[in-house]
Amino acid sequence: MKSLVRTFGPLVAIAVLAVLLLVVAPAVLSPFRLNNLGKYCCWAIAAVGIGLAWGRGGMLVMGQGVFFGIGGYAMAMHLKLEAAGPEGIPDFMLLYGDGTMPGWWEPFRSGAFTLFAIIALPAVAAAILGYAIFKRRVKGAYFAILTQALAVVFATLLIATIQETGGFNGLNQFTFFFGYNLYDPVNKKMVYSIAAGLLIGCLVLVWQLYRSRFGELLIATRDAEERVRFLGHDPANVKLAAFVVAAVMASIGGAMFAPIAGIISPSDVDATASIFLIAGVALGGRALLLGPALGALAVGYGRSTLSESFPDQWTYFLGALFIAVILLFPAGLASAVGRAARLVVRPKEATP
């Protein structure tokens, strides 16, 4: 019984979350609130990846905004070209550029290529970067600073290339999502469901990874990298795999964020946005399966509602909330849920 709970408990929790997100939420929330929840889901998808890399792998990835941005901009470029029509070019290039489109935009006309790019671009980028970092055994604070710097560089690059990426304004004014009109409430609901479904999918994948040999190796690498090396495994490969998966998840989150938020701009992918993702993971509990996702959902929700209720003071409330959670539940909010569940389960076990 006990082992069954341990094995399938997390799956039941994921199933409950799936029902809440995919059945309950669309039924009870207004279109605006549902759309907001969709945004939180996108952050949660990226957060699940951070949970894998940081919580299980011990790599404090402070620059996930970069990968979130790669997916977000890839999708936004496709949506922008879809809005412009078969031969058209994006409006901002006509307004602020010389009216010509850079060649590297052209492949993003194809939906299939865009979907491929959303997975492949961050994977390749993370693989090259990770290989260089982990083979040189860069870790700890140095790794964190490196990834953070990357987010700064990425945002600066976007801002400086107005004619190619829209600069500080970013990309917005999308009308279609793979043929579906984004102004139609039914289609907005569909886009939300895809994002929520992808979140559930990522959770199931990570659950399986945690249970696998790879998951064991990842924790071992986190806790005693040298011992793993002595046992004949290369820790760099283990970390690299986790880093690449985290990057792809961030990219998927970003790709869904663009049509749901209706915009992607450097302020959604810069260092501050990256730290905001980390904050959600820390709040929820980085080492737990559902912690990062729940944390990201909670932070997104908190940011929206607190700023609506206290438009002038909300940032202080959010800060106070972080301090309170870190003091009371150092392992994150999800650990509190786990603790409560154990209190319920234990008395039953006591009776033979």
Partner 1 sequence: MFSPPTRHVIGTVVALTATLSLSACGNKDGDGSAAESCVDTSGDSIKLGFLNSTSGAMAISEQTVRDSLTLAAEEINADGGILGKEIEFVEEDGASDPAVFAEKIDKLLTSDCVAAVFGGWTSASRKAMLPVVEANNGLLFYPVQYEGLEASENIYYTGATTNQQIIPAMDFLASEGVETLFLAGSDYVFPRTANKIIKQYAAELGIEIVGEEYVPLDDDDWTTQVAKIVDAEPDFVFNTINGSSNVGFIKAYYEQGLSPETSPIISVSIAEEEAPAMGKDVTGQYAAWNYFQSVQSPANDVFIRAFQDRFGSDRPTSDPMEAAYTSLYLYKNLVEAADSFDVDDINESADGVSFDAPEGTVTIDGDNHHIAKTGLIGQINADNQFDIVWSSEEPIEPDPFLEGYDWWDPTAE
Residues 252-281 that bind partner 1 (CB under 8 A): 261-265, 267-268
The amino acid at 104: W
When binding is defined by CB under 8 A, the residue of 88, 120, 187, 321 that contacts partner 1 is: 187
Least distance from C-beta 82 to partner 1, angstroms? 13
CA distance 332 to 161: 39
Q: Binding to partner 1 by residue 88, rule CB under 8 A?
A: no
Neighbours of 284 (CB within 10 A): 30
Q: Binding to partner 1 by residue 140, rule CB under 8 A?
A: no
CB closer to partner 1, 59 vs 249: 249
Q: Binding to partner 1 by residue 167, rule CB under 8 A?
A: yes
Neighbours of 200 (CB within 10 A): 19
Q: Binding to partner 1 by residue 326, rule CB under 8 A?
A: no
Q: Binding to partner 1 by residue 251, rule CB under 8 A?
A: no
When binding is defined by CB under 8 A, the residue of 86, 312, 323, 346 that contacts partner 1 is: 312
* Nearest by Cα to 164 from 89, 255, 219, 214: 89
When binding is defined by CB under 8 A, the residue of 121, 133, 151, 159 that contacts partner 1 is: 159
List, in sequence order, the alpha helices (H) in the chain: 2-19, 25-28, 31-50, 64-84, 91-96, 111-135, 140-160, 162-165, 185-211, 213-223, 225-230, 235-261, 266-269, 271-284, 291-309, 314-328, 333-350
CA distance 139 to 61: 11
CB closer to partner 1, 110 vs 156: 156
Least distance from C-beta 326 to partner 1, angstroms? 22
Q: Which stretch binds partner 1 (CB under 8 A): 57-65, 114-122, 302-310, 321-329?
A: 302-310
CA distance 200 to 198: 5
Residues 6+ apart with CB under 8 A from 295: 47, 279, 280, 281, 282, 283, 284, 285, 332, 333, 334
CB closer to partner 1, 307 vs 335: 307
CB closer to partner 1, 19 vs 341: 19
Q: Binding to partner 1 by residue 305, rule CB under 8 A?
A: no
When binding is defined by CB under 8 A, the residue of 105, 107, 115, 193 that contacts partner 1 is: 193
Least distance from C-beta 23 to partner 1, angstroms? 6
Q: Binding to partner 1 by residue 184, rule CB under 8 A?
A: yes
CB closer to partner 1, 25 vs 126: 25
Q: Binding to partner 1 by residue 7, rule CB under 8 A?
A: yes
CA distance 282 to 350: 34
Q: Binding to partner 1 by residue 231, rule CB under 8 A?
A: no
CB closer to partner 1, 133 vs 298: 298
Q: Binding to partner 1 by residue 200, rule CB under 8 A?
A: yes
CA distance 180 to 38: 17
Q: Cα–Cα–Cα angle for 231, 234, 239, nearest 5°?
A: 125
Residues 6+ apart with CB under 8 A from 336: 328, 329
Q: Which stretch binds partner 1 (CB under 8 A): 114-122, 179-187, 321-329, 335-343?
A: 179-187
Residues 6+ apart with CB under 8 A from 267: 155, 170, 273
Q: Binding to partner 1 by residue 99, rule CB under 8 A?
A: yes
Name the burial class of residue 170, with classes exposed (0-12), middle (13-18) and buried (19+) by CB atoms within 10 angstroms of its CB. Answer: buried
Residues between 22 and 61 that touch partner 1 (CB under 8 A): 22-23, 26, 30-33, 35-36, 39
